[in-house]
Each structure stands twice: as C-alpha cells, then as structure tokens.
Amino acid sequence: MINLETPKKFRPLIGNAHQVAMNLLRPNSRKYDTAEHEYPKELDMLAAMIDGLSESGQASGAGASGVRRGEDDPATNDGGTKNGANLASVLSVMEMCWGDVGLLLSMPRQGLGNSAIASVADDEQAERFKGVWASMAITEPGTGSDSANITTTARLDGDEYVLDGEKIFVTSGERSDHVVVWATLDKSKGRAAIKSFVVPKGTPGLTVGRLEHKLGIRASDTATIRFENCRVPKENLLGSPEIDVKQGFAGAMATFDNTRPLVAAMALGCARASLELTRELLEQAGVTVDYDRPALTQPAAAATYLQLESDWEAAYLLTLQAAWMADNREPNSLEASMAKAKAGRVGSDVTLRCVELAGSLGYGEHELLEKWARDSKILDIFEGTQQIQQLIVARRLLGKTSAELK
C-alpha cells in the first residue's frame, strides 16, 4: 500500500536538490530568462556533480534519467512495496523546479530523451547510451497533439534505418548530443508502426534549424530538427522492431507513462514557489492565512490562497501515486495522465492567481511571480496537452479505444 509520507531514504536527496535550487538555480533564474538562448554555464558544474554521484550509486533518481525499470529493479524481487527511482525523480525534480524550470530543462544529460531511453531501451542499449544527453523529438508541423499521426518515416535499408521528416519544438534540440526521434516504419499500419530511434548529433542528414523565441522557460533552447536521408544503425531502434498491431501504440506510450509524472512534478515545483512567495507578500500586507478558520470567514485573498493550496495538494498526491505505481510495476497510464492533467492545470491556475493576488508586485519584474506564470504554461502543453490527457483518462475509464472515442 502506498504511503504518502516522503520516504526517509529520499530526504537527503530532496534536501540536496533544494539547496541546489535555492543557491544555484533561483539566483540565475532572471539572468537566463533575459538572456534567451545563452547557455547556462553554471549547470556544467552541477551536471558533473550529479554524474559523480550517479557513478557512486548515491544519486538514484536525481533527475530525468532515473526512471528505468529493468529486471534488476527492486520492485521485481518480491511482493513488497517499493519506493524507487520514479518516486525519487519526481520528488527531486519538484525541488529543482522550485528553483527554475527552464534551467532544469537545460541540465546536461537530464533531458526527456534520457527518460525515453531509460523507459524503452534494453540492457545493451542502456549501457551503450549511458552518459549521453538526449533530447526528444516528437511534435511535427501540422500534427498537433496526436503523436500517433506523425509522418516522419524510418525505412530499413540493410543494417541501417533511413529517417526522413521534420520535428519542431524539440527541447534542448541544439544543445543535446543525441536525439530520440519518433518515426513510423509503415504508415499503413497506423500507431503500431511508430518506433523511437536514438540519433547522435553529427549524423549526416540531421540538421538543427531555427531556435524558438518563447513565452517561458527561456533558459531552455527549443529547436526545429530536420532529417533527410539520415542513416542510423538498426541497433539504435529502442525496443522491439516488430510491428505488433494488437499491442498498438502501447510500446511507445510506455515512455509517456514515465515522463508525464516528471512534467507534473515540474508544474508542482513552480506552483509551490509561487504559493510560498505569495503567502509572504500577503503577510507583509497584513493578510494572514488561518488554517483553523473556515475560508468564508477570512479575507477574500486568504480564502483564494486556501483554495489554490488545496488544488496543489490534490495534484501532488496524484503525481506521487503515478510515480509509486511505476516503481511497483503497476500499470499507471491512467494515473500518469490524471497527474499530468491535474498538475498542468493547477500549475497555470496557481501561478496566474498568485500574480493577481500580489498585484503590481506580481506583474512586475521585481519578483519572479510573473516569470513563474510564463514558465508554467508550457507544462500544461508539452508531453500531451490538457485536452489530450482528459481524452486519455476518459478512454481508460470508459474502456474505449482511440477509434471509439476521439
């Protein structure tokens, strides 16, 4: 049975992540928001530290790459309850995004592509791609939120796959050294033919196009990547090359089951930062939030704050549940989408309402509230929009297929 208290073994990791967020990420938050596309050099030292801890086995879950569930996972050893790398990753990511979402997304070797590799790769691939910095390329022009409609193709030619297509909105697309690209082996087979491939930067036929200018997470680069007759070894296909129509899109979606709780955690970290600062500003203005009195007997600002805090708590618990289920090898597709949908919406609602509650202090650049409001919006969009998550939840609850419920 899940215990919603923070596991004792993760408390040092969470404490360390909070210290990094407080002393490194937040002090540089405004700097790299203003200097869009400038690489945050301060992150190199942090990445080296995390790599060192990982080598020593002391940093399980200290970032996006800590989500792999292999045969040696403790959760497979017996029937007991386990708190593993998924839960650790969610808790540490939440703390880091309390510091800054854009800077976390800019950390070397902690990209969402790393999560894809960790989720789908076999043991040989996991070892071969250990230490790479992988971005994840899914979205295409005209494809929208339905990843199953991607048109980038992968054609087997001898011992290589030939990739052709274009991807947009690739996080860390310029800075990463590898790209995990989703492509179809056979358009006529629909969702079942979609596979992911690891493509090293510098591979002939891979070109990085324009960098996007964005509303938020401006410290993180977002690029367009094109593939033209781009050849990669067939061993770089993640998972099985077989097209299983019965399994459908399930193999590819296993990536999202692990990464969506991470994105939910990003939204929760950003929202918590806004709540904490807003409470301080309210107290300075003479408005005290009293947890021993009904909200209707308190000032309107305090009542609003209590509502926002309760919404945050609900999203937090959903996110912990989704990560815990992954650690215990329980199917969590429904819970991952519920957590992403709830946390994404709560993140946007909380940060915008905090700007409103703080008035001119919230809207100006003196505080970080306006930046957090801008940063949080993307967390309700990428890795599946709010509407897509609600559709997935509805399908799971009603037992409908994608063809039956669109």
Cβ count near 356 (within 10 Å): 15
DSSP result, 178-196: EEEEEEES-GGGGGGGEEE
**Catalytic status, residue 356:** no
Vertex 386 angle, CA 264 and 143, to 5°: 115
The single residue of 95, 174, 335, 383 carrying the catalytic annotation is 383
Count each helix (H run) and each strand (E run) in the chain, helices first: 13, 8
What distance in Å separates the CA atoms of residue 334 and residue 389, rounded to the nearest whole number? Answer: 9
What distance in Å separates the CA atoms of residue 22 and residue 11, rounded to the nearest whole number? Answer: 16
Which has the closest alpha carbon to 235: 135, 123, 394, 107? 123
Q: Which residues pair with 211 in a beta bridge?
A: 223
In the block, tokens 């203005």 appear at 285
What distance in Å separates the CA atoms of residue 63 and residue 94, rounded to the nearest whole number? Answer: 10
DSSP result, 89-125: HHHHHHHHHHH-HHHHHTSTT-SHHHHHHHHH--HHH
Catalytic residue numbers, as ranges: 383
